[in-house]
């Protein structure tokens, strides 16, 4: 689909110019910031879902009544739903990251696929959550650009990994079993990507990839959606190293991960989540050497502690990521789980004025 025109050519030109000029800063964690609001079930539901169902939607031929079972599932923890029920909180988080110096903010859509929303019996919200998630991020970016028109800000439409793996069995006794197929994943991603494009995302990012086959399904679906709308957006890809051996859950090294996805010609390839910045260094170094595109990272604030929290301070993270930048490994940098606007402000400060990694023109067979 690389022959389709850009959907927003002026935005792409402005993003490419910024990437050429400096190391761009991504935002930090959404979940960590939402947690600080200590929201209860009623907050998650808002008025629309207060009666145990979606007041704006009913399946064909079904009339809601108290206890009818629609959306009666506990919604607490369904952070993506807050895009509809507490948009003020999500907008506030985007604003805080932009104020901290983020060039790009990620939509609150990590779990907005039918696969993940099925856990909450809200599969019918996929398109709406992605569209509104992109619109909220767009509104925050537009407001920041209004304050300083010389500083472009970009919306990254996020496609999360889902909780299912297409290439591995969740059952050790049935190695051939799959909880989801490539086609089911592609269907789910198509629906999500349509909403993100509709809501005005500048870039799409397939992130926190632990199974490369899931990512391939997402990229396949994205291409279908670009064909449907007759134009494309730049795509970023970010994988997750899940253990000390330095491999993804589906067993690939960073180098193998790049070569399996290079055909998608992404705007950036990177690593996020799971580990802290220090543990990602060797793997990022490999990507920086082999990838003929931009390299990104948004690590966690260290490994989770005994309480599931994250201990690396803004100064710790900024120190490590500043070193990566000075070593010429980075084009984009931000934070994942446990990071806050204070982390992003420190990281932005640490990479300010440093030269972005030069994207190599590699002489390799495509
Ligand atoms: Zn109902
Ligand atoms: Zn994370």
Residue 153 Cα, ligand 2 centroid: separation in angstroms?
A: 22
Quote the CA–CA distance of 201 and 218 in Å, as a whole number.
16
Torsion of CA 186, 190, 192, 197, to 10 degrees: 140
Ligand 1 centre from 265 Cα, in Å?
Answer: 44
pLDDT per residue over 246-302, tens digit each? 888 878 899 999 999 999 999 999 999 988 999 999 999 999 999 999 999 999 999
216 pLDDT tier (thresholds 50, 70, 90) = very high
Task: Give the ligand at the shortest distance from the Cα of 61.
Answer: 1
Distance 1 CA to ligand 1 centre (A): 41
Residue 66: pLDDT band (50, 70, 90) is confident
Ligand nearest to the CA of 271: 2
Cβ atoms 196, 127 nearer than 8 A:
no
Give me the numbers of helices (H) and strands (E) for the chain, helices first please. Answer: 13, 8
Q: How far away, in angstroms, is 3 Cα from ligand 2 center?
A: 33
CA of 47 to the centre of ligand 2 (A): 30
Q: Which ligand is nearest to the CA of 66?
A: 1
Q: Is the pTM of this model over 0.85?
A: yes
Q: Can you tell me the distance from the alpha carbon of 217 to that of 219, in angstroms, rounded to the nearest whole number?
A: 6
C-alpha of residue 336 to centroid of ligand 2, in Å: 4
Q: Ligand 2 centre and the CA of 90: distance in Å? A: 18
Nearest ligand to the CA atom of 68: 1
Phi and psi angles of residue 155, each rounded to the nearest 5 degrees, phi first: -100, 120
Smallest-distance ligand from the CA of 303: 2
Nearest bound ligand to CA 277? Answer: 2
Q: Reduced to 3 states, what is the DSSP secondary structure of residue 290?
A: helix
Residue 161 near residue 207, CB atoms below 8 Å: yes
Cα–chain-centroid distance for residue 274? 14
pLDDT digits (tens, 9 = 90+) for 76-128: 999 999 999 999 999 999 999 999 999 999 999 999 999 999 999 999 999 99
8-state DSSP, 203: E
Those residues with Cβ within 8 angstroms of residue 124's Cβ, 6 or more apart along the chain or in another chain: 54, 57, 59
> CB–CB of 302/339 below 8 Å?
no
Residues composing the chain: 366
Q: What is the pLDDT of residue 321?
A: 98
Q: Could you give the CA distance from residue 335 to residue 340 in angstroms, rounded to a whole number? A: 8
């Amino acid at each position: 689909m690389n022959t389709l025109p850009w959907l927003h050519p002026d935005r792409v030109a402005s993003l490419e110019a910024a990437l050429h000029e400096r190391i761009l800063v991504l935002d930090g964690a959404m979940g960590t910031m939402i947690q600080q609001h200590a929201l209860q079930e009623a907050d998650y539901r808002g008025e629309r879902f207060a009666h145990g169902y979606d007041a704006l939607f009913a399946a064909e031929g079904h009339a809601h009544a108290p206890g009818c079972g629609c959306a009666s599932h506990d919604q607490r923890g369904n952070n993506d739903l807050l895009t509809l029920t507490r948009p003020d909180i999500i907008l506030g988080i985007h604003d805080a990251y932009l104020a901290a110096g983020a060039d790009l903010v990620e939509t609150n859509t990590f779990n907005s696929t039918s696969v993940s929303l099925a856990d909450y019996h809200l599969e019918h919200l996929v398109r709406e959550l992605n569209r509104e998630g992109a619109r909220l991020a767009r509104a925050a970016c537009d407001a920041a650009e209004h304050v300083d028109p010389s500083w472009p800000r970009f919306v990254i439409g996020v496609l999360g990994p889902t909780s299912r793996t297409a290439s591995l069995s969740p059952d050790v006794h049935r190695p051939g079993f799959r909880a989801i197929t490539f086609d089911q994943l592609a269907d789910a991603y198509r629906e999500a990507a349509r909403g993100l494009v509709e809501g005005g995302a500048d870039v799409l990012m397939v992130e926190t990839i632990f199974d490369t086959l899931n990512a391939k399904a997402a990229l396949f679906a994205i291409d279908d959606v670009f064909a449907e709308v007759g134009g494309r957006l730049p795509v970023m890809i970010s994988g997750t190293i899940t253990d000390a051996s330095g491999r993804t859950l589906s067993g690939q090294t960073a180098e193998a991960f790049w070569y399996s996805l290079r055909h998608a010609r992404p705007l950036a390839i990177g690593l996020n989540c799971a580990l802290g910045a220090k543990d990602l260094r060797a793997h990022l170094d490999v990507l920086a050497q082999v990838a003929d595109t931009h390299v990104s990272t948004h690590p966690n604030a260290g490994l989770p502690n005994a309480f599931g929290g994250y201990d690396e301070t803004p100064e710790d993270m900024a120190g490590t990521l500043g070193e990566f930048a000075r070593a010429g490994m980075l084009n984009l940098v931000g934070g994942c789980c446990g990071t806050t606007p204070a982390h992003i402000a420190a990281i932005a400060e640490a990479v300010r004025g440093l030269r972005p990694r030069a994207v190599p023109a590699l002489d390799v067979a495509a």
